[in-house]
Amino acid sequence: MKLNTYFDKIGGFVITGEVGPIKGAIPRDRAVVPRCAQEAEFLHGRVHAINVTDNQSAVMRLGSMAACVGLKARGHEPIYQLTCRDRNRIALQSDILTAYSLGMDNMLFLTGDHIRLGDHKTTKPVFDLDSVQLIKMAKGLREGHDIVGNEIENPPDFTIGAVVNPNFVPLDLQLMKMKKKIDAGTEFFQTQAVYDDKIFDEFIKKAEKFGKPVQLGVVILKSPQMGTFMNKNVSGITVPQEWIDEIGSVNKADRKKKAAEMMAGFIKKHKSKVQGVHIMPLGWTDIVPDILEQAEIKINGVEG
């Protein structure tokens, strides 16, 4: 189902999760369930859709497309992520058509982390298009033509999502890009992980003027080490020291409980300002139901 359907409903609040495809192939033996599919099970009935990342952090993995098809077959609603990093415009368009043909109703288009951040550091970075151009091209396919203007048969139909980073300084530069993404055809946004109330408030105050649905993006903070690691290695995301201290204040056995409480508190505080939430669990999908419950949100609308 196209996510638009949910965003368009009055008061529609869209909940999405995320899984990363495995580093390897899907076993032919159907009795063996790949980890990403196992993770998705915890999200069943709790989220509207699940993002499937595209070689996230430039680490080579199973294709997003195959994982999306697998999730769809198991009754999930995948969001096919597609980045500009590894494909030229021919491959991008072809993959969009293929993804639609294989049943994908939702696609999220991004620039993609640079190759230097991943495990294939000497690869040729492609970036034939940027994310704005990719979105415009995707919209063109939906309207029945490819990027050079040739007509295509059976134009695909899907909801176009994009990403915006509220942490970006100067914020205006990021908002200009957001506006360009909207003009190019973006129908909803997921934010990069935010942890700072002030940063998010400043962002959403400006972003809501565009009138496009925004989902608050959160990455589950699993440990103080992860916070420090993200600050050092994950581009464009800052985890405040208070968060690091708080998750570090309990011992390992209680971290899941604590993390759920922290994430839920943050979501609860901001849910009235957004049209949805995008939870990036990095494997901890099992605590997503707990987060949603504590944040008092359900897929059939905002509670309370």
Partner 1 sequence: MHATIQKPIQEIVRYIKPGEKVFVVGCNNCAWKCHSGGEDETKNMARRLEKRGVEIAGYSTPGPQGMSLCKLDHTRKVLMEDYADPVKKADSFLVLACGQGIHTVIDATDGGMVHPGCDTIFGGETVSETQIDEFCSLCGECIVEYTGGLCPLTLCSKGLLNGACGGAENGMCEVDAQRECGWVLIYERLKKLGRLDLMLPYREPKNFAKWSRPRSLQVSPEEAIFCSQDGKITISNQD
Q: Is 44 left (phi over 0), alpha (psi -120 to 50) or beta?
A: beta
Binding of residue 57 to partner 1 (CB under 8 A): no
Q: What angle, 0 to 180 degrees and rounded to 10, lies between the N-to-C axes of helices 64-73 and 89-101? A: 10
Task: Return the number of the residue (16 or 192) whose C-beta is nearest partner 1.
Answer: 192
Cβ atoms < 10 Å from Cβ of 227: 23
Q: How far is the CB of 66 from partner 1 (least distance, A)?
A: 26
Identify the residue among 176, 225, 241, 254 touching partner 1 (CB under 8 A): 176
Identify the residue among 9, 23, 74, 116 touching partner 1 (CB under 8 A): 116
Task: Return the number of the residue (3 or 164) whose C-beta is nearest partner 1.
Answer: 164
Task: Return the number of the residue (28 or 232) whose C-beta is nearest partner 1.
Answer: 232
Query: Which two three-digit tokens encode residue 206?
Result: 């400006």
Let me know: does 274 contact 29? Beta carbons within 8 Å.
no
Distance CA 215, CA 284 (A): 20
Binding of residue 55 to partner 1 (CB under 8 A): no
Task: Return the number of the residue (9 or 120) whose C-beta is nearest partner 1.
Answer: 120
Please report, as residue ranges, which positions from 179 to 208 form the binding site for partner 1 (by CB under 8 A). 179-180, 183-184, 192
Q: What angle do CA 104, 55, 74 make, to 5 degrees?
A: 40
Enumerate binding residues for partner 1 (CB under 8 A).
84-85, 89, 111, 113-114, 116-117, 125, 127-133, 136, 147, 163-165, 167-170, 172-174, 176-177, 179-180, 183-184, 192, 235-236, 238
